Amino acid sequence: MKRTSPVTLLAVLLLFADATVSAQARVSGDARDIRAARLAQNAAMAAGDVERTAQLWTEDVTIRRGLGTGLSGIEAYKGIIERAPLSDTALVYWRTTTYVNVSPEWPLAFETGTWTARVAGKGQSLISGRYSAQWVKRNERWPIRSEVFVALACTGKGCQSKALVEPALTSAPTPAIPPLLHSMVFPKDSGRTTSLASNQRSLVDTATAILAKLEMHESTLKPGMNSHPPHRHAHEEVIYLTQGDVSVFQENVVCKAHAGDVIFLASNQWHNFTNIGTTDAKYLVVRIDSRDEPKDLPSTNPPTVALP
């Protein structure tokens, strides 16, 4: 039997040791990156910077919040932050990492730690607890794919919050919260919604800082065509007629509108439009839903009024 020389054995041991050290260094470096990413996200959340905060979530991120409610998807997660603008009374959440375990086999990591919620980020925490998170390495970055928070302690008004104990009565998924609309320009071909009628082109369908819904679309009516049967709804609309001539039915009145005219549709009032011209009529619809909007009235048995 041929013996392995001491020099060869030493070389093998050194190579093995070097590989082990390299792997440990990589894992250690990844753990530092994750701790730094958590601190960066804390700072972004404290500053109310939604986009910078969201850079550390995957598109399919899921969360179970401290008192039990669940969220799925990055837009739903962003919506929570957007609907809690910075103020002297807003809660600011802070996560403190206590342990990070990076897998040497897969681009995955486990993080756990504690979290607090303080008014304006100062003073005693109103609610606190523990959390765990799964991180995934993509393109040399470590975003968060899943988080679970558990509230364990409270003080003052924080103890008035209720935990979700029973499951929802329906198994239907909770719709994602639409992102709030920030100042921007919408190109003329920027249709966002595909569920509109074939004669409609969508521009935007979202929420704003003060509106539950802002929806805008352009409609085109061929000669003799009407927008829809007379109906009514709680939300209000502003119509800008850009081309053509239409008859406008509103409650018990019918009038004419021409290119350049603006039409206002009040809450829960009957309405529809008919193209009375010989060319296409086009108009921009701006739908406005307030956050304390009344309920829609039924659209059965509309009044009838002869055209002028």
- Model confidence at 106, in pLDDT bands (50, 70, 90)? very high
Per-residue pLDDT, 142:
96
Give the per-residue pLDDT at 25: 59
Q: What is the pLDDT of residue 47?
A: 85
How much is the pTM? 0.50
Digit-coded pLDDT (tens) for 33-92: 999 999 999 998 888 888 899 999 999 999 999 999 888 898 888 877 765 555 555 788
Q: Report the pLDDT value the prediction gives residue 171, as an integer from 0 to 100.
A: 45
pLDDT at 128: 95
CATH class assigned to 200-290: mainly beta
Q: Of the ranges 72-81, 90-99, 120-129, which one carries the lowest mean pLDDT score?
A: 72-81
Output DSSP code: residue 158.
G
Helices (H) and strands (E) in the chain, counts: 3, 14
Domain with CATH 3.10.450.50 in the chain: 6-160
Residue 37 half-sphere exposure toward CB, CA atoms < 13 A:
22
CA distance 177 to 51: 16
- Please name the fold of domain 6-160: Nuclear Transport Factor 2; Chain: A, (3.10.450)
Query: Mean pLDDT of all residues in the chain?
Result: 82
Tokens standing for 12? 């093998």
Residues of the chain with CATH 2.60.120.10: 200-290
Name the residue with higher pLDDT: 125 or 300. Answer: 125
Cβ pair 96, 195 in contact under 8 A: no
